[in-house]
Amino acid sequence: MNQQLPTATLTGMAQVSGGHFLYRASHRFREGGFILYDEGPRWVEVHPFAIDRYEVTNGEFRRFLAASGYRPAESHNFLRHWQGGFPEELANHPVTWVSLDDARAYAAWAGKRLPTDMEWQWAAQGADGRRWPWGMAFNPAYCNSDSSGTTPVDAHPANVSPFGVGDLVGNVWEWIDTVITDGWHRWCFIRGGSYYRATGSLWYAEGGAQPVDHHHKFLLMHPGLDRCATIGFRCVRSDGPTMSGWGTYQWAVDSTKDGLNFDD
Amino acid sequence: MNGEYRLENAELRCHFATRDGQLWFEHFTAGKAGESFLAMPALFCSVGVGRAAGATEATADELRVHWYEPAVELQVRLAGSTLSWAVHVENPQPEAAIYFPFVAELQVGAAQKTLAGMQAFQDSFGRPIFRHVDFPLPLVKLAPEGRTLTLLPGVLPQPITQSGLEPLWSAPGIPLAESGDCLDMELILHEGGWPAAFDRFRTKIRSGFDLTQYERPDLDWYGEQLVHHFTFLYGREILNLESGQFELERFLDEGEALFGGYDGFLIWGVYPRIGVDERTQWDFYDDFPGGRAGLRAMAQRARARGVRFFIPYKPWDRSADLHGRSAGPDHEQLARLVADVEADGVFLDTMSAIGGEFRTAIDRLRPGVVLCSEGRAKGEALEVITSAWDQSFSWDIQQGNWAAGPEMLPGVDLWRFLFPEHRLFVISRHAVGDDRLRIIQRGFFSGMGWVVWQDIFGLVLTYAPDEAALLKKCRTILRQHRQALWSAQPTPLIPTLVAGVYANEFPGCSKRLWTFYNENQQIVNGRILQIKPRPGCHYVDVWNEREVEVDGEGCLHFELAPRQVGAVVELPRLLVRQPNGLVSVNESIPNATLHVRQPGIDRQASLSDLGQQSLDSLLGTSKQPIIVCLVAAGEVLDQIVVQMDEGGAR
């Protein structure tokens, strides 16, 4: 194992107290609207939980693969940025090109789970209704927004929430656990925005860092398409109940498929 | 300078006079003794107010009148049965105007009926019926003894806005700065009424277009297309939500059950996802389930079922270019994608025109690929893009959605009748406030195609059972009469005998189709349309599946439900019912089959079986009428309706 991780901080979790908060999410208007979800404002209860201080990194994900033997059933675009070998220079960057199920598998292995939409917002926003982890006003120097790639998860010390959670906005979007279906579609939320901003048309999905009350409706199709260069994740852990339940996730270890092999 | 001038020949007698700086019609009749078209004298033309008319030159067939300040020359010519004039403006002055008051007189002229003109095509609420009126419609007056007087643009007008046309017929004057060539007119005396007048109009408009793309044999297949499906790839219509795989066969089966089948489908998966990361529209096709090879296999399986496969092109996907990561020009990438997935057509998202390099690049890699634009391809774009959506569109946002534009019946699209080969597909824009039944009816009335769009990027708007059933019925009827439907000389809004009943005529080589819309709140029953019956033909109300009675004056008697469409077809008598209950066929037609239908029963028989069985033995003892159709390649060649008597079919 040749990781140079400052493990004390990168693997740590921040404690988030529970309580009632006025949940008020926003989404970008798209043709066809945004249905079957109450964006608030509404009072929700969040039970105390611990949340990863930073997104799961490439280095951490490599350890997970080595320890668990996890291989996705559908591997198209799985860790696409590792295809030339593990990118050592990205060891401290958030892992990307992982599907929601890949992320859930990691969390289950780590004895954790992915956050709910309310938990993520509460951890990022706290009680005062701020729009960015650090306050009301956006500051491009405080996060990785509108750039050409990911940065180490701890590269922006000011990108920290009232609960001490880092790198919440910009850098990469983060998977949220809740999957909603209307019988016609399956979709989930992603949070925080990313480094990438598509330009030239208003029809692109919103780019760059996004405020902490913003979530993006992400229609799920197929892991090969759903894995993105700009979506990572972080985990939470709680002993008590959460806002919404989550399942336990299992994966099939397919010994015949061993396309990825990274030494831990 | 006053004077009198006579332009006359065997066809027309036109006497003019100049008085007080104005040009007057003194006499305007068909031939020497014809009835006057107008109350005489009528003011033909004046320029400004109080300007002096100058030198006037005249020969037997030409007259030139000059005005000064502003300097205008009016050149009037008589040739055969056409009186034409041209206006030359030497120094346009916005404050000055030119007037042709007699045109307004033509419209309201006393005894004879004026058929058309901008104001004439209005529904009973006073709303215009024609949509996309980008050329001045002809003004048509039914003259005595069945003759027709038609006013047409004298030179081909460029497509211009409707507001720019209205002064031609109605306003007191046309500003000289804006008038341009549209002041040049032809007044033609001819035979044939409104259909012939519209045909002259169509011929004139089309003469300015190069329509060779429409003659390509490899694009012929597109003529069969009536119902397209907008296939949102993230939805259950085609996606298995459990497996994340596409299920083409189930999707097509459901389309057959609901709508009678799709003729084509447009896959849609780039928007609204694109922009979450750097992937371009081209990259998506590698990452959809199965990648490009999977889509190619899907396209092949669809074609094997007679369904065509369309992909979208999004010209707005420019981010890779702007970030310096473009993998090549769009036309090359699109052509490559078309070839890789073996697409039959490309839908041009947000576009109404496209560069010729796209057509060339696609043709180089794959023949037979059609282009269909979201916006209306008009002008030169129509020469490249052979098809478009016909959507009512408005930028108003209602409940988070872009609202539909006004959707009104009968609502005739002028371009459908000027360029029948340019296929138009009616689509409900997001359906907020839309009455989808009306949209389906409008498509049927004008003989257009439809786009079924039930999943608007995640917002589900399924067709109600009555809507799906209506679309299925409309598609079935139009498909069965394609030979007439795709006539090169259809006529919109032919005169009917009942107020509030509108009709379009589609003459084919062996059949004629009329579509109707009854705007009234009541059933209309009886004489609806007067035609010239063709010997050896009979008439079937294919909407209600009844034989139509034709009286001695050529009037068709049938029934139209309130606020509903209808259709009558003129068919050659090929099927004959014998007194003994057998049906025989007059002519031997290769590959024709006989379809016998009664509610709940659908049987086919080959031609050799005909005459061998009575209808009694083919069918049960139901008292419902029996529909017998002679069909070849999906086209109904003849159809008879047999009413069951007490003792069965006789």
Average pLDDT score, chain A = 86
Predicted local confidence at residue B461, as pLDDT: 87
Query: What confidence tier does B404 reach under pLDDT thresholds 50, 70, 90?
Result: low
Quote the percentage of chain B above a pLDDT of 90: 55
Residue-wise pLDDT tens digits, B543-575: 999 999 999 999 999 999 999 999 999 999 999
The answer to whether B395 faces chain A, any CB pair under 8 Å, is: no
Pairing of strands B147-153, B449-452: unpaired
**Do residues B120 and B107 make contact, with C-beta atoms less than 8 angstroms apart?**
yes
The answer to whether B233 faces chain A, any CB pair under 8 Å, is: yes
- Residues across chain A: 264
Predicted local confidence at residue B588, as pLDDT: 78
Predicted local confidence at residue A35, as pLDDT: 60
Residue-wise pLDDT tens digits, A39-92: 889 899 899 999 999 999 999 999 999 999 999 999 999 999 999 999 999 999
Average pLDDT score, chain B = 85
| Mean pLDDT lowest among A109-123, A188-202, B176-190, B600-614 | B600-614
**Cβ-defined contact of A196 to B456 (cutoff 8 Å):** no
B518-537 mean pLDDT: 96
| Mean pLDDT lowest among B32-36, B223-227, B441-445, B597-601 | B32-36
Query: What confidence tier does A30 reach under pLDDT thresholds 50, 70, 90?
Result: confident
On the question of pLDDT at B392 being above 90, the answer is: no
Predicted local confidence at residue A250, as pLDDT: 32
Query: Residue B598 is encoded by which pair of tokens?
Result: 């009664």
Residue B241 is nearest to which of A186, A201, A229, comparing CB atoms? A186
- Phi–psi pair at A242, nearest 5 degrees: -115, 180
Predicted local confidence at residue A204, as pLDDT: 94
Amino acid at position A10, single letter: L
On the question of pLDDT at B118 being above 90, the answer is: no
Residue-wise pLDDT tens digits, B219-238: 999 988 999 999 999 999 99
B336-362 mean pLDDT: 96
Query: Which letter, b or e, does each residue of A156-193 get, where b requires 16 or more Cβ atoms within 10 Å of its Cβ?
Result: beebbbbbebbbbbbbbbbbbbbeeeeebbbbbbbbbb
Residue B456 is nearest to which of A32, A200, A207, comparing CB atoms? A32
Query: What confidence tier does B407 reach under pLDDT thresholds 50, 70, 90?
Result: low
Amino acid at position B421, single letter: E
**Cβ-defined contact of B455 to A181 (cutoff 8 Å):** no
**Cβ-defined contact of A184 to B235 (cutoff 8 Å):** yes
- Phi–psi pair at B642, nearest 5 degrees: -105, 120
Distance from C-alpha of B650 to C-alpha of B580, rounded to nearest angstrom: 7
Query: What confidence tier does B436 reach under pLDDT thresholds 50, 70, 90?
Result: confident
The answer to whether B460 faces chain A, any CB pair under 8 Å, is: yes
On the question of pLDDT at B612 being above 90, the answer is: no
Torsion angle defined by CA atoms of residues B554, B558, B563 and B566, in that order, rounded to the nearest 10 degrees = -80
Predicted local confidence at residue B274, as pLDDT: 96
**Do residues B140 and B169 make contact, with C-beta atoms less than 8 angstroms apart?**
no
The DSSP secondary-structure symbol of B182 reads G
A217-226 mean pLDDT: 96
Residue-wise pLDDT tens digits, A163-180: 999 999 999 999 999 899
A126-154 mean pLDDT: 96
Chain B CB contacts of A186 below 8 Å: 241
Predicted local confidence at residue A257, as pLDDT: 38
Query: Residue A10 is encoded by which pair of tokens?
Result: 């990168």
**Do residues B413 and B439 make contact, with C-beta atoms less than 8 angstroms apart?**
no
Helices (H), A11-72: 58-68
**Cβ-defined contact of A205 to B459 (cutoff 8 Å):** no
B268-294 mean pLDDT: 97
B618-627 mean pLDDT: 71
Quote the percentage of chain B above a pLDDT of 70: 82
Distance from C-alpha of B593 to C-alpha of B584, rounded to nearest angstrom: 12
**Cβ-defined contact of B456 to A182 (cutoff 8 Å):** no
**Cβ-defined contact of A223 to B430 (cutoff 8 Å):** no
Predicted local confidence at residue B554, as pLDDT: 96
Query: What confidence tier does B609 reach under pLDDT thresholds 50, 70, 90?
Result: low
The answer to whether A221 faces chain B, any CB pair under 8 Å, is: yes
> How is B148-177 classified by DSSP, letter by letter?
EEEEEESSPPPP--HHHHHHHHTSS-EEHH
**Cβ-defined contact of B314 to A203 (cutoff 8 Å):** yes
Which carries the bigger pLDDT value, residue A239 or residue A228? Answer: A228
**Do residues B393 and B381 make contact, with C-beta atoms less than 8 angstroms apart?**
no
Query: Residue A174 is encoded by which pair of tokens?
Result: 């983060």
- Interface probe for B, chosen from A203, A218, A220 (most Cβ of B below 10 Å), is A203
Residue-wise pLDDT tens digits, B140-161: 877 666 688 888 876 655 554 4
On the question of pLDDT at B623 being above 50, the answer is: yes
pTM of structure? 0.90
State how far residue B315 is from chain A, nearest Cα, in angstroms: 10
Predicted local confidence at residue B428, as pLDDT: 77
A103-118 mean pLDDT: 96
Distance from C-alpha of B105 to C-alpha of B37, rounded to nearest angstrom: 9
Predicted local confidence at residue A248, as pLDDT: 32
State how far residue B183 is from chain A, nearest Cα, in angstroms: 42
> How is A71-111 classified by DSSP, letter by letter?
--SS-TTTTGGGTTS--GGGTTSBP-S--HHHHHHHHHHTT
The DSSP secondary-structure symbol of A56 reads P
Peptide bond into A115 cis (omega under 30): no
Which carries the bigger pLDDT value, residue A82 or residue B615? Answer: A82
Predicted local confidence at residue A252, as pLDDT: 33
Q: Which of residues 177-196 of A touch B (CB under 8 A)?
A: 181-187, 190, 194, 196
On the question of pLDDT at B213 being above 90, the answer is: yes
B598-615 mean pLDDT: 66
Burial of B309 (C-beta count, 10 Å sphere; 0-12/13-18/19+): buried
A190-214 mean pLDDT: 95
Q: Which range in A11-20, A243-252, B169-178 is most confidently predicted, on average pLDDT?
A: A11-20
Kindly identify which residue of chain A lies nearest to residue B240, measuring between CA atoms.
A221
Query: Residue B334 is encoded by which pair of tokens?
Result: 């699109």
- Interface probe for B, chosen from A97, A185, A216 (most Cβ of B below 10 Å), is A185
Closest CA to B554 of B527, B536, B531, B573: B531
Query: Residue B459 is encoded by which pair of tokens?
Result: 């917002």
On the question of pLDDT at A32 being above 90, the answer is: no
Distance from C-alpha of A118 to C-alpha of A124, rounded to nearest angstrom: 10
- Could you tell me the CA-to-CA distances from B635 to A103, A231, B422, B481, B630 in Å, in that order? 57, 54, 21, 6, 8
Predicted local confidence at residue B610, as pLDDT: 57
Kindly identify which residue of chain B lies nearest to residue A192, measuring between CA atoms.
B276
Amino acid at position B107, single letter: Q
| Mean pLDDT lowest among A36-45, A245-254, B216-225 | A245-254
* Dihedral angle sign, alpha carbons of residues A101, A105, A110, A116: positive
Distance from C-alpha of B280 to C-alpha of B271, rounded to nearest angstrom: 11
On the question of pLDDT at B162 being above 60, the answer is: no
Which carries the bigger pLDDT value, residue B160 or residue A142? Answer: A142
Predicted local confidence at residue B68, as pLDDT: 79
Predicted local confidence at residue B515, as pLDDT: 98
| Mean pLDDT lowest among A43-52, A72-81, B292-301, B606-615 | B606-615
